[in-house]
């Protein structure tokens, strides 16, 4: 399935590699067949522009691209729904509206939103906890929306920030739900909805973050070059990481005529 299934074929490391270090990363034979027997530091074994720049490349370990718009837009929409719900609850906590809607637990929502736990958090965050949550959901949408469809490779920092926003938020939401039942003793329907959304978001966002972490691990494992890892993390391009990425992902087969069109469609906008 993978484009380069033969890890035994290796090429010499480029001159930037650590002295005395074994060139342990492999570039398997490509269609052009130029991988073996290159001079160190030469441009041989380079990945093609198509491999390096195909925006619909599919990273390990999935059989789809987790950075595709079809994967990310639903996350953004769901996060914005949670943002609106949290904003509504914040409006109540600010007393810009007089009551909070709850179809199941009646006035218990208001008890939760005015609870001691909530008041305490307000002293820490300076803003009502619902407003703080709303900003975090907004962050999910922002970081879900930014970046190209190959950002697991091109902008790892963005995917990691996205994960840092989504995953702890899901955990915090779950903890707050437990606190509702145990400490406050009341239930808040909309809080439960947002907590559920948070957990779904964790599930939906996980695949992309995982691919990104695996790719960074691969860069480290094959080069042991911390500066290269740093450069990769911040979205710098390097022939060595291009090669690693080309092995890490596969480009869906398609005829030449549709390549350009796909590229334009994927890169369009903003």
Partner 1 sequence: MWSRVVEIMLGCWLLISPFVFGYPAENASWWYWDMGSGTIVILLALLSWLPATRRAHLGTVLVSLVLIGSACARGWSSPEISAAVQNDASLGLMLIMFAVIPCNASAPPAGWRTRAAGPSGV
Residue 256 near partner 1 by CB under 8 A: no
For residues 115, 116, 120, 125, the Cα torsion angle rounded to the nearest 10 degrees is: 0
Q: Which is nearer to partner 1, 33 or 269 (CB)?
A: 269
Q: What is the Cα–Cα distance from 75 to 139, expressed in whole angstroms?
A: 11
Give strand ranges (E) for 122-193.
none
Q: Which of 135, 172, 192, 199 binds partner 1 (CB under 8 A)?
A: 135
Q: Which of 47, 80, 81, 146 binds partner 1 (CB under 8 A)?
A: 146
For every residue of 240-262, DSSP letters joined together read HHHHHHHHHEEPPP--HHHHHHH
Q: Which is nearer to partner 1, 128 or 170 (CB)?
A: 128
* Closest approach of partner 1 to the CB of residue 269, in Å: 5
Closest residue by Cα to residue 115 from 104, 128, 126: 128
Residue 240 near partner 1 by CB under 8 A: no
Q: What is the Cα–Cα distance from 210 to 163, expressed in whole angstroms?
A: 9
Q: Which of 1, 33, 39, 49 binds partner 1 (CB under 8 A)?
A: 49
* Closest approach of partner 1 to the CB of residue 263, in Å: 3
Q: Which residues 55-94 are close enough to bind partner 1 by CB under 8 A?
A: 55
Q: What is the Cα–Cα distance from 177 to 199, expressed in whole angstroms?
A: 12
Residue 230 near partner 1 by CB under 8 A: no
Q: What is the Cα–Cα distance from 192 to 181, expressed in whole angstroms?
A: 11
Q: Note the residues at the interface with partner 1 (CB under 8 A).
A: 49, 52-53, 55, 122-123, 125-127, 131-132, 135, 138-139, 142-143, 145-148, 150, 154-155, 158, 161, 235-237, 260, 263-264, 267-270
């Amino acid at each position: 399935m993978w484009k380069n299934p033969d890890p035994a074929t290796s090429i010499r490391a480029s001159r930037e590699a650590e002295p005395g270090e074994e060139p342990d990363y492999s570039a398997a034979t490509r269609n052009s067949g130029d991988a073996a027997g290159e001079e160190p530091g030469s441009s041989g074994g380079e990945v093609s522009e198509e491999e390096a720049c195909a925006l619909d490349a599919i990273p390990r370990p999935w059989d789809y691209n987790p950075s595709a718009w079809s994967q990310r837009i639903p996350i953004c929409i769901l996060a914005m729904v949670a943002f609106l719900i949290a904003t509504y609850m914040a409006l109540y906590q600010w007393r810009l509206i007089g009551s909070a809607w709850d179809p199941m637990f009646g006035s218990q929502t208001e008890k939760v939103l005015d609870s001691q736990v909530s008041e305490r958090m307000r002293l820490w965050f300076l803003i009502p906890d619902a407003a703080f949550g709303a900003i975090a959901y907004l962050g999910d949408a922002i970081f879900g929306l930014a970046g190209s469809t190959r950002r697991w490779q091109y902008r790892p920092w963005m995917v990691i920030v996205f994960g840092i926003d989504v995953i702890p938020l899901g955990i915090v939401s779950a903890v707050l739900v437990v606190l509702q039942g145990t400490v406050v003793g009341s239930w808040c329907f909309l809080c439960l909805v947002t907590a559920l959304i948070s957990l779904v978001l964790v599930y939906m966002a996980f695949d992309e973050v995982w691919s990104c972490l695996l790719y960074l691990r691969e860069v480290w494992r094959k080069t042991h070059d911390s500066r290269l890892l740093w450069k990769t993390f911040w979205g710098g391009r390097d022939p060595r990481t291009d090669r690693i990425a080309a092995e890490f992902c596969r480009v869906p087969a398609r005829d030449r005529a549709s390549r350009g069109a796909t590229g334009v469609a994927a890169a369009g906008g903003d």
